[in-house]
Amino acid sequence: MLRTTLLTFLLLYVSATALAEQATAEPPNVILIFIDDMGFGDVGFNGATGPETPNLDRMAEEGMRFHDFYVGCAVCSGSRTALLTGAHYQRLNMNAVLFPNSKNGLHPDEVTIADMLLEAGYSTTCIGKWHLGHLPPCLPTYQGFQSYYGIPYSNDMWLDPDNKLAKDIVIREGLTLEEVQAEHRSRNRVPLMRNEEVIEYPIDQSTVTKRYTEVAIKFIKAKKDEPFFIYLPHTMVHLPLAVSDALKNRTGKLIWDAIEEVDWSVGEILSTLKETGIDEKTLVIFTSDNGAAVGSSLPLRAKKGSVYDGGIREPTVMRWPSKIPAGKVCREVTASIDILPTLARLCGGKLPKRKIDGHDIWPLMSGQKDAKSPHETYCLTHGPGTVRAGKWKYYPWREGTTGRRRKNQPPPKVDPNAPKVQLYDTVADIGEKNNLAVSHPDIVAKLQAAWEAHNAELKANKRPTAQLIRPSNAASANHPDVKSSGKPIDWTKAKTGDIYQSQSVENVVGQPIAISCSVEGKKLNGVILAHGGLVTGYSLYAKGGKLIFAFRRTNKDIDRIETRLGKVTTFTIKATAEKNQLSIQINDEQPVTATSKGLLLKHPAEALSIGKDSQMSVDNQAPTQQFNGKIRSIAVEVGELENK
């Protein structure tokens, strides 16, 4: 009897194993959709209440949601490195963010998903934002992709004059070929590339989501009878936001329109898979590179740039009909570094010979009973760093600090009684509000040890990036209009038209701010000074006979105070933001005051500009043209204002 039972159990086990292997016997096509700056709370399947995402919601119903999926960096280039190589970006010495004047990029000796799948017999293409090196030998065509179509870096950047121009390049916005060849550079004006050449400059950003989608659909139809890999890293919803005419002004918010267009794109791709009869042969993975910049990361804490969950835990769904169980939610810790080793298993690819950090998560994707996260600890060394282990999230630094501050910046004001580290139960406390470090010293000690071991191993086993190849007579690829490179501003020399990097301004987080200036002119109109953009910042401008001071704490909260300019033509102005109060004083008149919601919560990422808001507008009610008066003097002071 016992022998019969054992034999029956063995047969059942062998049969189940055979079925599992059979389920993955035919390598799938792979479409990897990677959104830029889309937050956890920007999709319906995670509870979004603003934008509507019916296609993503249906994809989640037909596939599996990954509730605890982490990316490898809280900003662009580091995150893309981790996704495509399965290795932490620090292991590969990559920058967290690359720029058009960067000197390095992802080394072509590193094995990407595309390299692996190309060797396994797949057709490969990259459509969208690359951002891992925009010149040889770091372009997609050097990294396993047979073709490339897209913008080589973030859409708020500028043209590198060393990018090769195609003979049939389309030049837009009234520019001439001669101007482009003569080192034309302008913020938010970026090139469209095909393979290794610029085919259009500057691209109309309102068309990019639609055009990427059309190129992807064309590729699917052309390759439907052979295995293929599409890497579709969308440019949206990164600032500056733009939407095609067909989806514009649907929601009342540009960010929601942009999210809905990304959702439309997903729907078009899924429909094409069904139309071509390859739906059940295709694995589609949807996720984002980091937390929301403008949208929502709720209910998670913080946003893009932070290692709190709102910066690195992403809306993620994977769909493969009949292979990935429909309508399920995986709550185990998974990460973007796991995609490469998982695809190696599913697609018959070979793992890189050099060390990577990801693990095969097919047991979780396929819904195997009792499957667990392959990460006993998931360590992320971006910024001040963090460790996720099961339900626990650990930060080896005190709350209210980041472990870093700008040069000459005073130490932040921190509660001296606060624990030196942070520990949160992410299941019971998804918003990471209740620090449990004091009550769980054993867990703190264990995760601190894991953190230290991880950093020591990374430091001992780093690999090089590749140097971008530039001509010996290369033109400057530096920022087109920034006045300084992080040095403090000399306000005695500041004048209309100057633009300064944001770090040139003393840290404004939680600090009072005073703008002092002397201006002349009749019927004044235009921005006198602006620092920041849609996310946070402040702006002083004249409009309709009034002087207006706008103060934006968050993308949702903006306070304004205004006063009449009067009939004089010379104005000495002081605009201040103190705790819960804004004020404006003109000449010797009585100051006008108004309540506000408080001081800035983060330092503006965008530059400070004089005489015009040169980037994303702090206040969409402000004039867009250059200030029509004369600025005699101007200065921004940060800190206590009693004697200023």
Q: Read off the tokens for 533.
A: 């953009």
**How does pLDDT run across 125-172, given as a tens digit for each residue?**
999 999 999 999 999 999 999 999 999 999 999 999 899 999 999 999
For residue 222, the tally of other CB atoms under 10 A from its CB is 12
Return the CATH number at 410: 3.30.1120
Domain span at 436: 393-460
DSSP-derived 3-state class of residue 261: helix
Looking at 412, 441, 460, the residue that finishes a domain is 460
The set of catalytic residues is 76, 131
Q: Does one domain contain both 151 and 243?
A: yes
CA distances 10 to 3, 13, 17, 289, 367, Å, are 10, 5, 10, 44, 22
Tell me the chain's radius of gyration from C-alpha atoms: 26
Q: Are residues 233 and 84 in the same domain?
A: yes
Statement to judge: residues 148 and 94 lie in one domain: yes
Residue spans of beta strands (DSSP E) within 22-164: 29-35, 64-66, 69-70, 104-105, 123-127, 147-150
One domain for residues 422 and 553: no
pLDDT score of 191 more than 90: yes
> Domain for residue 563, yes or no?
yes
In the predicted structure, residue 643 carries a pLDDT above the cut 50: no
In a domain, 554, yes or no: yes
Tell me, yes or no, whether 469 lies in a domain. no
CATH of the domain at 558: 2.60.120.200
Q: Do both 275 and 405 map to the same domain?
A: no
Task: Read off the CATH number of the domain in which 260 is found.
Answer: 3.40.720.10
CA–CA separation, 486 and 473 (whole Å): 27
Q: Give the model's confidence band at 584: pLDDT under 50 very low, under 70 low, under 90 confident, else very high.
A: very high
264 pLDDT more than 80: yes
Q: Is residue 539 part of a domain?
A: yes
Domain final residue, candidates 375, 407, 438: 375
Whether residue 122 lies inside any domain: the answer is yes
Are 337 and 425 found together in one domain?
Answer: no
pLDDT classification of 592: cutoffs 50, 70, 90: very high
For residues 418 and 279, membership in a common domain is answered with no
Name the domain count of the chain.
3
Interstrand relation of 123-127 and 228-233 (parallel, antiparallel or unpaired):
parallel
Judged against a pLDDT cut of 60, whether residue 620 lies above it is answered with yes
Indicate the pLDDT class of residue 605, thresholds 50, 70 and 90: confident
Q: Is residue 174 part of a domain?
A: no
The pLDDT of residue 413: 64
Residue 63's Cβ-side half-sphere holds a number of Cα atoms within 13 Å equal to: 24
Joined together, the tokens standing for residue 252 give 């009342």
> In the predicted model, is pLDDT for residue 17 greater than 60?
no
257: Cα separation from own chain's centroid = 18
- Is 620 in the same domain as 511? yes
Q: Is residue 162 part of a domain?
A: no
Q: Does 438 fall in a domain?
A: yes
How many CB atoms sit inside 10 A of residue 210's CB? 18
Give whole-number Cα distances, 24 to 342, 508, 633, in Å. 11, 54, 70
315-372 pLDDT tens trace: 999 999 999 999 999 999 999 999 999 999 999 999 999 999 999 999 999 999 999 9
302 and 263 in one domain? Answer: yes
Structure tokens at 274: 């069904």
pLDDT tens-place string over residues 544-570: 999 999 999 887 789 999 999 988 999
Q: Which amino acid is at 510?
A: G
**Residues 288 and 352 placed together within one structural domain of the fold:** yes
Whether residues 523 and 579 fall in one domain: yes
For residue 3, pLDDT beyond 80: no
Using DSSP bridges, classify how beta strands 64-66 and 317-319 pair: parallel, antiparallel or unpaired. Answer: antiparallel
Rounded average pLDDT over 99-111 = 95
Mean pLDDT of the chain: 91
pTM for this entry = 0.78
The closest of 153, 155, 287 to 231, measured between CA atoms, is 287
For residues 460 and 347, what is the distance between their CA atoms, to the nearest angstrom?
A: 32
**Residues 84, 114: Cα–Cα separation, whole Å:** 8
Q: Do residues 276 and 209 share a domain?
A: yes
Residue 484 has pLDDT above 60, yes or no: no
